[in-house]
Amino acid sequence: MADPTKRVLLAAPRGYCAGVDRAVVTVEKALELYGSPVYVRKEIVHNKHVVTTLQKRGAIFVDETDEVPEGATVVFSAHGVAPVVHEEARALSLRTIDATCPLVTKVHREAVRFADADYDILLIGHEGHEEVVGTSGEAPEHIQLVDGPDDVANVTVRDPDKVVWLSQTTLSVDETMETVRRLRERFPSLQDPPSDDICYATQNRQLAVKQMAADCDLMIVIGSRNSSNSVRLVEVALEHGSRAGHLVDYADEIDETWLDGVATVGVTSGASVPEILVREVLEYLAARGYADVAPVVAAEESIMFSLPTEIRRDLKAAGKSDKMRHDASFAEAGSLH
Catalytic residue among 32, 110, 131, 138: 131
131 is catalytic: yes
Q: For residue 119, give every residue at least 6 positions away whose Cβ sits within 8 Å of its Cβ, in sequence order, or none.
A: 142, 162, 163, 164, 191
Is the CB of residue 135 less than 8 Å from the CB of residue 108?
Answer: yes
Measured in degrees and rounded to the nearest 5, phi and psi for residue 324 equal: -80, 70
Query: Which residues pair with residue 266 across a beta bridge?
Result: 9, 219
Angle separating helix axes 18-34 and 102-116, nearest 10 degrees: 110
45/30 Cα distance (integer angstroms): 16
DSSP structure string for 61-119? EESSGGGSPTT-EEEE-TT---HHHHHHHHHTT-EEEE---HHHHHHHHHHHHHHHTT-
* H/E run at residue 144: strand 143-146
| Phi, psi angles (nearest 5°) of residue 8 | -120, 135
Give catalytic residues, as residue numbers.
131
